[in-house]
Structure 1
Amino acid sequence: MYREYGQVVAVTNRSLTERPFLEQIRRVCEMHPDALILREKDLSEKEYEELAKKVMAICAEYKVPCILHTFWRVAEKLECDTVHLPLPILRQFVLEKQNQKNQKYRESQNLSIPESQREIIQKIGTSVHSTEQAQEAQELGASYVTAGHIYATDCKKGLQPRGLDFLRQVCAAVDLPVYAIGGIKFDETQWMSLKECGAAGGCIMSGMMKA
């Protein structure tokens, strides 16, 4: 599945599936993508948590890494070690974690309390739409970024795609894996272009949800 050109990341969208959603998740996992991002932005945190439990169980069955989206507290609760955060939420996450570390340090100094267990979240991705955002993401400690939208897509109707030159610029601007997103299909020529730009891989939504 184009792995000679980079990693293939599945991205979910319940509104695009014709089958029951969990049935479609199973079909996607049978394709063995390198990861699956559970991106269901319309759900409340509680609704997302309930869905995430089921999706994570299916992903675990097929040994497909599951990346939770937006709700990092849910990721911690469910012990998911990778989360994808919109850049504004990543900023908040970093600030809150720094405050927690400062508090823990003060407590350990004053009360001899040992450091707590390791952080559950080990990898964080974020979406970027400019080289400046990509550089900020790197400074904030992101593990990877998705850059887009690269090609025209129904998910961004009326918005001009940023194109391959943009992808090339983002890849050159940071020392992070960059994944193309937006209009990415099961198209070998397209994937060759992504690799030539320096991308680590690409994210497929529609193709995965309609497979």
Structure 2
Amino acid sequence: MTNRHLFDEAGGQPAFLARLEQVAAAHLAALILREKDMEEGDYEVLAREVQILCRRHQVPFIAHTFAGAAKRLHADGLHLPLPLLRTMRQEGRALPGRLGTSCHSLEDVREA
């Protein structure tokens, strides 16, 4: 899971992407781009770049929070906070086959 703010003072986005390239080269099981404070459009621009480097290293790319961006990018998966998953389920929205959610209690696990 990512946190681009760790690179704010160390070179910003170029340093962040360079570090992700190094991490992806280690052949992770998957990379989750978790940048919840971004607007969806900005997230999608960054996600496109991250997805390219993931593909280069054959690492599954998993989007976080933004189901629309995940769908447009044909992400390998989507991770949602549980409250957002609840809302999407209540709306009857289609969810991707590879879906994860955040659980912080046994009750959350049972609901998920």
TM-score calculated relative to the size of structure 1: 0.48
Displacement of 1:129 after TM fit?
A: 0.7
Query: Would you say the 8 A contact 1:79–1:120 is kept in 2?
Result: no
1:126 partner SS:
strand
Q: 1:89 aligns with which of 41, 62, 84?
A: 84
The CA distance in 2 between the partners of 1:69 and 1:131, in whole Å, is 22
Match 1:128 to one of 86, 103, 107: 103
Q: Matches of 2:77 and 2:21 in 1, distance apart?
A: 20
Q: Distance in 2 between matches of 1:21 and 1:133?
A: 32
Aligned partner of 1:34 in structure 2 is 29
Query: In structure 2, do the counterparts of structure 1 residues 120 and 126 end up closer, same or farther at CA, with 3 Å as the change threshold?
Result: closer
Alignment partners' CA distance in 2, 1:69 and 1:120: 13
Q: 1:67 aligns with which of 23, 39, 62?
A: 62
With the length of structure 2 as denominator, give the TM-score of the two structures. 0.88
Gaps of 5+ in 2: none
Partner of 2:75: 80
Following superposition, the deviation at residue 120 of structure 1 comes to 7.6
Look up the equivalent residue of 2:5 and give its one-letter code. Answer: S
User: Normalized per residue, which structure has more helix?
Assistant: 2
Larger Rg: 1
Identity %: 45
* Contact 1:39 1:69 survives alignment (8 Å): yes
Report how many residues are paired. Answer: 107
Quote how far apart the aligned CAs of 1:123 are.
1.1
Within 2, Cα distance between the matches of 1:87 and 1:28?
Answer: 27
Partners of 1:35 and 1:71 in 2: CA distance: 17
Report 1:16-165 matches (<5 A). Answer: 16-17=6-7, 18=10, 20-96=15-91, 98=92, 121-137=96-112
**Separation in 2 of the partners of 1:85 and 1:136?**
14
Contact 2:60 2:76 in 1 (8 A): no
Gaps of 5+ in 1: 1-10, 101-118, 138-211
Q: State the 1:95 CA deviation.
A: 2.2
Q: Is the 8 A contact 1:80 1:120 kept in 2?
A: no
Give 1:126 shift. Answer: 0.6
Q: Are the aligned partners of 1:34 and 1:64 in contact in 2 as well (CA < 8 Å)?
A: yes
Q: CA deviation at 1:92?
A: 1.4
User: Partner of 1:56: helix, strand, or coil?
Assistant: helix
Question: Could you say what the CA RMSD is over the residues aligned between the two structures, in angstroms?
Answer: 1.5
